[in-house]
Amino acid sequence: MQTAYTKEELRSTLAPLRGRRLVLVPTMGALHEGHASLLRQARELAGEEGSVVASVFLNPVQFDNAGDLATYPKTPAQDLELCDACGVDVVFMPSPDTMYCNDRSISMEETHLSTVLCGASRPGHFAGVCLVVCKLFNLVQPTDAVFGKKDYQQLAILRRMVRDLDIPIQIHGAEIVRGADGLALSSRNVRLTPEHRAAAPSIRRLLLAAGESYAAGLPAGDICASVKRELELIPGVRCDYVELVDAETLHESTNPHRLALLAVAAWFGDVRLIDNIELSRS
């Protein structure tokens, strides 16, 4: 496995790998089993002939909360080990100065999918995600890229970005990886208090129960209200949103025959957790 820290190093490392499948997995580091599954999926897509590139970059531009950025876990040595164990060929680990010029003045705006769910409460977040992913796409020029479905809205927005900007990269969504108790793996889980860590798997339990209510035909409003009520019974928990939307448009689901998405964001103390479940009535 090779590691590139600058754009020049990345360019020269990737030069001999071009012309075959090149699969990119963008990450912000603090890698866990969830990332490992993205990397393994990338390895499978690349096959023996192709290559896998992982980027590890804590992108300051997508943080709407300085405290969240400051406390985001950083584990570069373990990240490199995990990438190696998952068969990654090249890790790109740039510094913020390498990625961004001080006087940068171009931004990326998605104006529909990012107005709801996390976008409504995290102003500028998805603009920052689109900016960094677009830059990574330009630097790596992969044939494919893999993103997790835990960040369902991010995945939908990035699919829209490559569609609307004619970026010739195939985007793949990877299933959510959970602990044995059902909690979706997240780099932020390590910051939960023991009480909140023990309570957090109830998100998954409530989503599964909501899925049954949806299949039984209960109205979306009632389903969301019930999930919110149950979550907020946990001391120190406050819901940012619980919403049932169309899985593609991320806006109100008007056609019951289309795939729906029940998405949750909740503060467990000062840690914001997100999770979701795809739902269908047929």
Contact 91, 83 (CB under 8 A): yes
Strands (E), 149-209: 170-174
| Residue 113 burial (C-beta neighbours within 10 Å; 0-12, 13-18, 19+) | buried
59 binds ligand PAF (CB under 6 A): yes
131 binds ligand PAF (CB under 6 A): no
Shortest reach from residue 71's CB to ligand PAF, in Å: 16
129 binds ligand PAF (CB under 6 A): yes
Shortest reach from residue 23's CB to ligand PAF, in Å: 14
Cα separations in angstroms, 130 against 5, 111, 127, 277: 21, 12, 5, 24
- Give the phi and the psi of residue 182 in degrees, each rounded to 5: 100, -10
Per CB under 6 A, the list member of 13, 41, 62, 186 interacting with ligand PAF is 62
Residue 25, strand partner residues? 54
Per CB under 6 A, the list member of 10, 17, 28, 38 interacting with ligand PAF is 28
Tell me whether residue 257 is one of the annotated catalytic residues: no
Task: Locate 212 and state its tokens.
Answer: 């049954």
Among residue numbers 143 through 202, which ones bind ligand PAF (CB under 6 A)?
151, 154
Per CB under 6 A, the list member of 3, 27, 114, 253 interacting with ligand PAF is 27
Per CB under 6 A, the list member of 13, 24, 26, 43 interacting with ligand PAF is 26
Contact 164, 111 (CB under 8 A): no
For ligand PAF, the closer of residues 57 and 214 by Cβ is: 57
- The owner of tokens 């979706």 is 184
Shortest reach from residue 115's CB to ligand PAF, in Å: 18
Annotated catalytic residues are 35
Interface with ligand PAF (CB under 6 A): 26-28, 59, 62, 129, 132-133, 151, 154
